[in-house]
Structure formats: structure tokens, C-alpha cells
Amino acid sequence: MLTSHLSFKYLVAFSAGVLFALGFAPMSFAYLTVLALSLLFYLWHHATPLRAFGCGYMFGLGAFGFGVSWVYISIHEFGGVDRYSASAITALFVAFWALFPAMLGLMSVRLRVHRNVLVLAGLWVAVDYFRGVLLLNGFPWLLGAYSQLATPLAGYIPVVGAYGTSYLLVITAALLTLAVTQAHWRWRAAGIVLVLWGAGSLLTNINWTSPRGEPFQVSLIQGNIAQDQKWLAKSKLNTMLRYRQLTEAHWDSAVIIWPETAIPAFYNEVEEIFIEPLQSAAKEHGVDIIIGLPLANLEKKEIYNAVFALGEQQAIYRKDHLLPFGEYMPWQPVSGFILKQLRIGLGDFTPGGKQQALLTAAGYPFITSICYEDAFGDASRDFLAEAAFLVNVSNDAWFGNSFEPHQHLQIAAMRALESGRYMARATNTGVTAFIDSKGRIIKQAPLFTTTVLTEKITPMQGLTPYAHLGDQWIICAILLITLLTWLVLTLKNRAPHVII
């Protein structure tokens, strides 16, 4: 009977993890995220440390297994790995990230803080920050705040960013659990949630930034080049011709943006035959063209994932925040040996450096991010005062018709809202989109179509509170609140009972 009861709890925990993932794009059932966390915290309320670990692990398997299993597509379909090995790698990937909510459950019950709202929320965010920024160059997928872009909690995003908003989300879920488990806290918990979400709703009406000039027209080119064809020698010429022809049909735009590595060749290979004529055409028509292609420094044996600005002012941005196991190999030489045995050929790129001058288009400097660089809010914060808008170029074709392109767009919307800047996002196969300074998607292209998306965007000025603070100060404040609360409760020897 005991084993059956425990199995049921683990099943509930796994189901809660799936519900948590359903809160994110493309399903975007935002309030399920709150319910899922509340269920998990309820399971922890009367659990031993070991059982809390088990429930947390099952929650993680459900959340990551359902939410980020798209890695299988990139490994099997485009990485050339057989389905059994790809399934095993994906399972290990999910099993690894599931350890984080498991360790949180163990730690919170062992320290007897699983019923304390502020301490539990602080520990949750600390764990999220560790996996999202510090470990393996960061894997910030399925951060709770990303699911809340259309709820009243979105009002806090330009104030405290993704991690601060996740903190408030966990506080909400913990308070709801408290309302169910402790009758004397029911109305107080409900009142706090009402005030918290009401304040967030009011904050959504504040404009933290203002227009810097008149709107100008931007065209985003979605070439829709199949990933398994993109780098074939026979496809290169057709790819370049497609982008050139789509560009020539939109000389009436002030800015034209191509996706990440839109040109499947190194810069030095196509400089004379393609880049220079394109540069001349851009100047002739008074248009700035932003293109993505790799750059090789043959003398130093360095390869960069780069973006070039062509037109009135030519400049280069080199990707700095590289993708582990995709653009560089951590844990060498072990990881390199394993991948070689599996015959997975991955890139060996060089980071471009943090202090790079901003590119300019339509007369305004802008912040450039390549692929999942836009998943790190703090990465370009130092340049926001100078930047008028954001540009993200990406190639999510690696993940096929999965959740990933939609989740990535959701992450991009978070960056726009945090910074109070419009974002123009050009991708190879989708989701190409325009996002306004409130994080709202104002226009997007359908997946897997060759198309050009055109819209006017407004250059912005000013800084949101988050842009002033950044993640590190917000995390420090959360940790300080967590530590002080824990110390007070410990000194009073009332840790299992005192809630806030």
C-alpha cells in the first residue's frame, strides 16, 4: 500500500511537470505553470527529504521531457546520429536537467524551509540562475517568467527581469499551496496574491522608454533553406540568389535583415563575387542590409559566427555567447572523444568578445544577438542606453517542426519587454517576427515558408529599471532576502511554522 501511494505521488509530480511545460509556447497555458508549481510544493509539504527528491525528479522529467525533447530532432535528423543513440542522448539530457528540481526538493525539506514562501522562492530562483547562467555557459530554457508574458506578472518584467518575475511566480504558487494546506493562512495568502498580481497589472500600463525618432520600415527575409540542404555545395549558389532576389524586391525598406548564417560560406569565399556587389547595391538604394555568415581568421585559425552590416556604415558583430556542444565543446577531451565515437560533427567557434561596438542601421545603433544569445538578458545590458532597437538572427531549422521555434520566440519577446525596445527577428525557417517594446508580437511569418515580413518599428530611448539593475543585482537582492528570512526563522527555531 505504501509503495502504491508513493507511486501515485510520483505520477502526480510527473504530471505536474508536464503541466508546467504546457505553460510555455506554443501552448501558452500560462496559469497551468502556477498550478503545476503548487502541486509540486503540495507534494513536498509532508515528504521526507528523499521522497521530496523523488517528486522533484519526476517533476523535472515531466517538464524537460515534454518541454525540451526537441533536442532529439537536431541530434537524429540533422546530426546524423541513429535513432537509438539519439534517444539515449536525449534521455540523458532530460535526466540531467531533471536533477535541479530534485535537488531543490531535497534541500528545501532537509533545511525545513519547504513551507516558507520567501525561502523556497529564493532557492528556486538561485537554482534556476545556476543552470540558466553559470553551468555549461547556461541553459535558461523553461524559466517560469517566460510563461507569464500575457499575465499581470508581465508588468514586473521590465522592473526585475526574468529571474525576478520567476521569483514572484514561485511566491504565488507557494502561497496558493499554503492556502490549501493551512486554513488560518487561506485569506491572507489569497490577499497577498491579489495585491501582487494587481500591482503587476498596474505596472503593465507604464511606459518605461520613449520614442527616439520616427518609425522606419524593416524587412525580414525568411529564406526557408532546409537544414540538410543548406551546406551542400550544390545548394550554395541557389541560396545566395534567393536572398539576393528577395532583397531586391524590398529596396523601399530602410533596413533589410537576413537570418543567421544565411550565406552558407565563409566571408573570404564570397567577398568579391557576392558581398561587394551587395554592398554597392545597398549604398545605391540607401538601404542598410544585415546579413549572417561565418567569418574565418586563417592566420589565427579562428572561426566566428558573425553578422555583417552593409550599406552606409560597414561593421561586423561576432557571436560571443557560444552554444555548448554545438559551437564549442566543454569538458574536453572527454566530450570530444564521445562525440567522435558517435560521429557527431560539431563546430569549433571562437567567442567574439563582450566589448564590441554596436552595429548601425537606419542611422541608429542596435544590439545584435545571434541565435540563443537572446536567452541571456544581462548579456547586452551595458549597451542599452546607446541602442535604439534589438536585432536577433537565428536558424531554428535544427529543431524542425517542434516546440523550440515557438519557445525561442517567447524568449525573444522577454528581451524586448525587459529592455523596452522593439525587436526585429529574422530566422531561416521561422519564427520570423516583429516584437514591440511591450513584448507583444505585432507580426510573424508562418513556419517553413519562403517569405519577407515587412513592418515599421520605432527607435526607442531611455532605460527600464531592469536595464539599470541587471540580473546580478536582482539575484543578490533575492538571495539576501532568502538568507535573512532563513536566519530569522532559525534563530527563533520556528522554521517549519513561520511562513513569511
Q: Which residues are catalytic?
A: 260, 319, 371
Residue in this structure with the C-alpha cell 531561416, named with its chain if needed: 428
H-assigned helices in 249-345: 267-270, 276-285, 334-341
Nearest to 39 by CA among 27, 50, 23, 25: 23
Asked whether the beta carbons of 353 and 374 are under 8 A apart, the reply is: no
Which ranges of 393-443 would DSSP assign to H, the alpha helix? 404-419
Give the separation between CA 102 and CA 425, rounded to whole angstroms.
35
Other residues' Cβ atoms within 10 Å of the Cβ of residue 197:
17
CA 82, 87, 88, 90 dihedral sign is positive
52: left (phi over 0), alpha (psi -120 to 50) or beta: alpha
Q: Angle 302-326-229 (CA atoms, 0-180°, nearest 5)?
A: 95
Longest dimension (CA), the chain: 79
Cell numbers linked to 374 = 537572446
**Partner residues linked to 297 by β-bridges:** 302
- Residue whose C-alpha cell reads 521522497 in the numeric block: 51
Cell reading at 46:
509532508
User: Is 101:57 a contact under the CB 8 Å cutoff?
Assistant: yes
373 φ, ψ to 5°? -60, -25
**Residue recorded with cell 539576393:** 244
CA distance 361 to 78: 34
